[in-house]
Amino acid sequence: MAKFKILNRTIGDGEPPVVIAEIGINHNGSVDNAISIADAAISSGAEIIKHQTHLIEDEMVNEAKRIIPGNSKKSIYSIMSKCALNENDEKKLMKYVFQKKRIFISTPFSRKAVDRLVKFKVPAFKIGSGECNNYPLIKYIAKFKKPIILSTGMNSIPQIKKSVRILRNCKIKFALLHCTNIYPTPPNLVRLNCINLLKKTFSDAVVGLSDHTTSIHTSFGAVALGAKIIEKHFVDKKSRPGPDINCSMNPEELTELLKGISTIDNALIGKVKKPLKEEISTINFAFASVVSIKDIKKGERLSNKNIWVKRPGTGDFLADKYEFLLGKKAKKNIQSGELIRRNHIF
């Protein structure tokens, strides 16, 4: 069974799914906004709050000033420069989350970002889809021997295998999140069945979904397929500006997501298809029993002229035994409308 712990939370097979509320850059570079968003997520029931750690000078070169993401009119360099929290502010955010008895993790996008998070003593790392094939950075992160949650969007199975090989060689406990990196992602491009593919291909991985759709419905489907981690962007109010707001859930949606995931997880219990003892009271009125439809004299054979199947299901012979009884001799008189009993024929 694939599972690991982040602090006191066990994640994986046999455990309830966990939701990671992704603050990301929705705070627009304000630590006060970040804390407000984290607080709203915590109040809504989130167990893990995730941030993004950006140190621009170690993450990008000037060419990035020419690259415009599909969900923005500004360059990626400009966006991240504005939204990056400095070390003191990010530490303040982390402390707030831990003071609230929740787990703080972050995604580092460079070696200096990794070093900052190691200094913070974060309990685990999240690696984004863009870094799934950044094998030098993955090796750098893995050497710190902390659990890793790796998103796999924009990458093929062979590319993912190379990353997993690094994690296995370093004996890292890890999770793989299926992901589509379109902001927002239309449902027809989510490809939820890739969750099954990841589970089959990487049996030692905890598997989940990083969801960039505009609703929580896709996440429900992922849990039904066995996802043990749901990561989704979160914001306290959707009136905030930012490129990720359109695929972020608000407090009401997070509350509903957690409620739905718990319901689905409970509904997945049990793999044997057979009647339950809890169904007996329903069986008693819903099933049919073999009954006499005419008076039957002792010695007379049971036939389709004198027996049939009717409710309730409390007779000795349920409807599936009807043909078995045909031709049997009555050992005593049976009145019309009686449930056929064993002592009637044996």
**Tens digit of pLDDT per residue, the chain (346 long)?**
899 999 999 999 999 999 999 999 999 999 999 999 999 999 999 999 999 999 999 999 999 999 999 888 999 999 999 999 999 999 999 999 999 999 999 999 999 999 999 999 999 999 999 999 999 999 999 999 999 999 999 999 999 999 999 999 999 999 999 999 999 999 999 999 999 999 999 999 999 999 999 999 999 999 999 999 999 999 999 999 999 999 999 999 999 999 999 999 999 999 999 999 999 999 999 999 999 999 999 999 999 999 999 999 999 999 999 999 999 999 999 999 999 999 999 8
Cα–Cα distance measured from residue 171 to residue 346, given in angstroms and rounded to the nearest whole number: 67
Structural domains of the chain, with CATH: 15-267 (3.20.20.70), 277-345 (3.90.1210.10)
CA angle at 50 for the pair 17 and 229, rounded to the nearest 5°: 20
Any bridge partners for residue 21, and if so which?
49, 232
Q: What is the pLDDT of residue 181?
A: 97
- Which two structure tokens, joined as six digits, stand for 278? 């809890």
86 φ/ψ sector (left φ>0, alpha ψ -120 to 50, else beta): beta
Q: Is 279 exposed, middle or buried (0-12, 13-18, 19+ CB in 10 A)?
A: exposed
Instruction: Report residue 241: phi and psi, to 5°.
Output: -80, 160
Instruction: Report residue 308: phi and psi, to 5°.
Output: -155, -170
pTM, two decimals, is 0.93
Cα–Cα distance measured from residue 151 to residue 181, given in angstroms and rounded to the nearest whole number: 10
Q: What is the largest CA-CA distance in the chain?
A: 100
| DSSP H or E run through 3 | strand 3-6
Q: What is the pLDDT of residue 76?
A: 96
Per-residue CA distances from 7 to 124, 183, 341 (Å): 9, 31, 61
Per-residue CA distances from 33 to 28, 41, 99, 103, 236 (Å): 8, 12, 17, 18, 9
Length of the chain: 346
Displacement of CA 235 from its chain's centroid (Å) = 20
Any bridge partners for residue 179, and if so which?
210
Is residue 192 within 8 A of residue 225, CB to CB? The reply is yes
Residue 222: Cβ within 10 Å count: 26
Cα–Cα distance measured from residue 21 to residue 104, given in angstroms and rounded to the nearest whole number: 10
Cα–Cα distance measured from residue 74 to residue 139, given in angstroms and rounded to the nearest whole number: 31
Is residue 5 within 8 A of residue 60, CB to CB? The reply is no
Cα–Cα distance measured from residue 167 to residue 138, given in angstroms and rounded to the nearest whole number: 8
Cα–Cα distance measured from residue 243 to residue 69, given in angstroms and rounded to the nearest whole number: 9
Q: What is the pLDDT of residue 346?
A: 85
